[in-house]
Amino acid sequence: MSGLKQASVAKLKSKEAIIGIVGLGYVGLPLMLRYNAIGFNVLGIDIDTSKVDALNEGKSYIEHISAEHIANARASGFEATTDFARVTECDALILCVPTPLNKYREPDMSFVINTTDALKPYLRKGQIVSLESTTYPGTTEEELLPRVQEGGLRVGESIFLVYSPEREDPGNPNFETRTIPKVIGGHTQACLEVGVALYEQAIDQVVQVSSTKAAEMTKLLENIHRAVNIGLVNEMKIVADRMGIDIFEVVDAAATKPFGFTAYYPGPGLGGHCIPIDPFYLTWKAREYGLHTRFIELSGEVNQAMPEYVLSKLMDGLNERGKALKGSRVLVLGIAYKKNVDDMRESPSVEIMELVEAKGGIVGYSDPHVPVFPKMREHRFDLSSEALTAKTLASYDAVILATDHDKFDYALISEHAQLVIDSRGKYRAPQSHIIKA
């Protein structure tokens, strides 16, 4: 069957292959634009009709991806669909679907499994299937492999299966899809060769590993490294604060060491679709092997406690001014999980808003990237972003700087807010109405 492998590789190298991208969110959409830009015919597949309709009309629903880019892709052949039967047209299928945690902090594999089940009837000889969703080591072998082979296709012979984790960093101006090296592991050597042919067209550097499990573990290690180090610096922040030391000054000073130190900065908790979630995929899988991942769980405890820490600082600040949190008006600045993006997944800002409300506070928010509080799976506020004016700031008993967007006017905030709870270290000079959190 090496003839099928060679044909698949040749089709990808000549850019005659049709690329199918399943899941058109923060990962799938940039990937679509990249393949489209280099001359591939790309078909986008998503179960969300509103996303598909928007894309086919040349519109974008992600702030840092312009409508112009989508319209250009449409003009050069890109199309989106909800019809999984069209999978048969594709030579490559790249799965970019969510892998959240359930309420017990266990992997929710329903998106991956349901998507694979939806693709199954339409798989054919010569295709390559690549999973990009972050997941536990063994997912590709345990969940995708048997489903892909159900109809009689043999992985490594008549169809090819790889795992290649996404590494998108929304809002980071220094990197784009093309320039971020791509890790890939194949179920067999033939799978790997077809996978490399798929990705080397679009990505400057493809990094090969020996198996899909190694590729899955690579992604988890990257995110666990970050989660553990953020947990460490968040714990250090609490210690430094109690000692009257500015942790941001300390991190900046330590970062001048040219070796052996990487700067991580504390915040109000972890956000995004990766760092708060992915480490627990390994925690869950490790139990199967009788192992207990103590670093992951400890950093998780520290990071999950940060919104409560911010709340305690807010209550202390109000208390010093003779006010209770109950009945106080509190404005949260920035509800996206990181600066300069509109992505709200797992945002600690939202948890802070819920904690304030639960204590009887009256909560509002201001975020230039999120004009209306969106419908979320677990959180709901019927709020719109408040314009940041001197009058608005003065009308609140306290403002919490939760996400430090560049669009905020920090001088205006400092001048007119009655009380500022700064969880991002934006205000270094001591001021009586600014409390570091």
Sheet holding 160-163, edge to edge: 79-81, 41-45, 18-22, 92-95, 128-131, 160-163, 182-186, 206-208
- β-strands 329-333, 398-401 pairing: parallel
Residue 419 CA, distance from chain mean position: 31
Integer angstrom CA distances of residue 30 from 96, 183, 341: 11, 17, 15
Contact 236, 266 (CB under 8 A): yes
Which of the residues 90, 96, 191, 274 is marked catalytic?
274
Half-sphere exposure of residue 57, counting CA atoms within 13 Å on the CB side?
9
Strand partners, 154: none
Contact 284, 385 (CB under 8 A): no
Residue 418 corresponds to which tokens in the numbers above?
A: 């009655």
- Phi and psi at residue 333, in whole multiples of 5°? -95, 110
Q: Is 274 one of the catalytic residues?
A: yes
* CB atoms inside a 10 Å sphere around CB 2: 9
Contact 337, 343 (CB under 8 A): yes
Give percent helix, percent strand, percent coil of the chain, each to the nearest 5.
40, 15, 45
Tell me the C-alpha distance between 396 and 253, whole Å: 35
Tell me the C-alpha distance between 200 and 363, whole Å: 49
* CB atoms inside a 10 Å sphere around CB 240: 19
322: left (phi over 0), alpha (psi -120 to 50) or beta: left
Q: Which residues are catalytic?
A: 274
